[in-house]
Amino acid sequence: MNTRDISFQKKYISIKYRDDSDTSVIDEFFVDHMYRSLDSIISNIQYPIIDVGAHIGVFSLYARTLNPNVKIIALEPHPDNIQLFEQNSSLNLLKNVHLLPYALSDSVETRIKLFISKNSHNHTTSSDHSTSSSSDHIQVRTISFDKLIEKEHIDTIGLLKMDIEGAEFDILKSFDLSIFRSIQYMAVEYHETQKNKRVNLENILREHGFSVEHFPNKFDKKFGLLLGRNKRIQN
């Protein structure tokens, strides 16, 4: 296990990591600044942040540094990632961060296959996006979005961040109108295939009252970030 020390917003963050896969996630936030378009949003947000696909906790650390008070609810299903998230949370004395051991699901099923990638940030519940064999998976617990907000007693979500390696297409299609109306901002990392395209996600968001900005990944145009702003919620 290694530890990387980072200076961000005149604060110091220590992040435990295992390998190059973890390092690439750290770089995404603190070197490549892929999420810089969210900095002012996160800094001023009052409603809870939901971090779906929390991995080892890098986004939650990023958000907590920008906003020391907002509640953060993180979802991560893989046991190894959960363990490292908890270590990073403890190392940085994170408060008001609630980690839940679930994958977000578009169904009422309570367990689902998580296909395992050699890169820990590429595990996915989407068989369309999996690079693993059908046998290379584990069973993980799931929760639907409506059950999540019921469990956490949330009426309005300040920011929904979603990085779930292709499963974002089916998840967003499963949201009903009331869920979209409860979300102030969305930050969705998209992962394109021949079947699922970025424009499909953009159309879903726009149809439900969001303006959309697109930030492509500079290394691979099949990946990138969509930032949605709910025009129905006064910011």
**pLDDT exceeds 60 at position 149:** yes
Instruction: Label residue 126 by pLDDT band (50, 70, 90).
Output: low
Per residue in 39-74, pLDDT (tens digit) is 999 999 999 999 999 999 999 999 999 999 999 999
Instruction: Label residue 117 by pLDDT band (50, 70, 90).
Output: low
Over residues 27-38, the mean pLDDT reads 92
Per residue in 77-114, pLDDT (tens digit) is 989 999 999 999 999 999 999 999 998 887 766 777 76
Over residues 21-32, the mean pLDDT reads 91
Instruction: Label residue 132 by pLDDT band (50, 70, 90).
Output: very low
62-84 b/e (C-beta count within 10 Å ≥ 16 → b) = bbbbbbeebbbbbbbbbeebbeb
d(CA 182, CA 193): 29
Domain covering 35-230 in this structure, CATH number: 3.40.50.150
Per residue in 155-210, pLDDT (tens digit) is 999 999 998 877 888 889 889 899 999 999 999 998 887 777 889 899 999 999 99
Residue ranges per domain, the chain? Answer: 35-230
Tell me what the pLDDT averaged over the chain comes to: 87
What is the model's pLDDT at position 135?
55
What is the model's pLDDT at position 14?
96
| Adjacency order of strands within the sheet including 223-230 | 97-100, 72-75, 49-52, 157-162, 183-191, 223-230, 210-216
